[in-house]
Amino acid sequence: MADARFLVAVTRWARPPEQELTALAPLFGLTPYDLRLRLLGPLPVLAAQGLDAETAAELARALRGQGHGALACDQASIPRGDELVEPRDFALEPEALALAGPGAVRLPYAGLEALVLATRISAETSATAVTQKRLSVGRAMVTGGLSVRSKKTRNVRESDESRELVLYLYAQGAPRPVRLCESSLRYGQLAELMAPTGSQNFQALVAILRERARAAWFDERLVTQPRKPTLVGASIGTRQLTESRSNAAELDLAVHLLVRAHREQQL
C-alpha cells in the first residue's frame, strides 16, 4: 500500500479562485461548493492531504497546467515545533549571525536564502460555572417558607490573547530552519541600538538582517494574514473548562510551503 503522507498546496492563483471552482472540482472529486470551503483562504492553502506520492504529483501538475502555483509535499519533510532551531541568544558578527544555546549555529549572511516574518498567536479561553443565590418570594410561598432562596448557574467566559512577531531563517547548508521569536530573544547584543521594548528591538534585528542579507528573499504576508489559532489543549476542572489555542504549527507549515514555492517559482 502506498504511503499516503503527501499534501498538495495552492500557492498562487492565476485567476480569482471563485472563477475556478467548477473547472477544478473534478480534479478533487468534490462539488464546487465543497471545494470552495476548502480553497478559499489565504495562500498558501492546503488543497488535499493524505495522498500517495504519485497522486499528489499528478494533482500538482494538473493545477500548474491551468496556470496556478502548486506544490506536492511530503509531510514528513516539513520541520515543525522543536525540530526548528529557536535560540534565545544571538551575536551579530561582521559576516554572520551566531546563535547560542541548543542547536547553536553560525549563519553567514551571504548564505541566508529566505527570511519570512509572521505573526504567532496564542489564546486561552476559560468558561467557569458561577452559581448565585437570591431571595425568591415565589419559592418561599410554594415551600411554605422552608426554602426562600433560589440558585441560578451561569457560565462566565474569559479570554486572553497574545501576539508576537517571529522570523524564520532558511540558510544554504543549514540542516534545520531557525525561528527567532520576539518574546524569547535576549537583545543585549544590539548594544547602542537597544530600545525600551522587545517589539522595537525585534524590528531592529529584522532590519539589520535584511540589510546584511540583501540577497535573501524576504516575505511578510503572514504578518498581515496570520493563520488562525487551532485547539492545542484543554483542561477540565470541577467548575471550569480551559482551552488553549495557537497557530504555531500552522505557521511552521505555511512558511515551509512559501519557501518551497519560492524555490520552485510557484509564487
The domains of the chain are located at 6-77, 106-124+158-263, 129-156
pLDDT tens for residues 235-253?
Answer: 787 777 888 999 999 999 9
Which residues, 6+ apart, have CB-to-CB distance to 96 below 8 Å?
A: 106, 107, 108, 109
The grid cell for 213 is 542579507
pLDDT tens for residues 158-210?
Answer: 888 899 999 999 999 888 999 999 999 999 989 888 899 999 999 999 999 99
Q: For residue 151, what pLDDT band results from cuts at 50, 70 and 90?
A: low
Contact at 8 Å (CB) between 63 and 70? yes
Q: What is the DSSP string of 96-127?
A: EEEE-STT-EEEEGGGEEEEEEEEEEEEEEEE
Q: Which position has the grid cell 541566508? A: 112
pLDDT tens for residues 110-143?
Answer: 999 999 999 999 998 887 776 666 655 555 555 5
Q: What is the pLDDT of residue 1?
A: 46
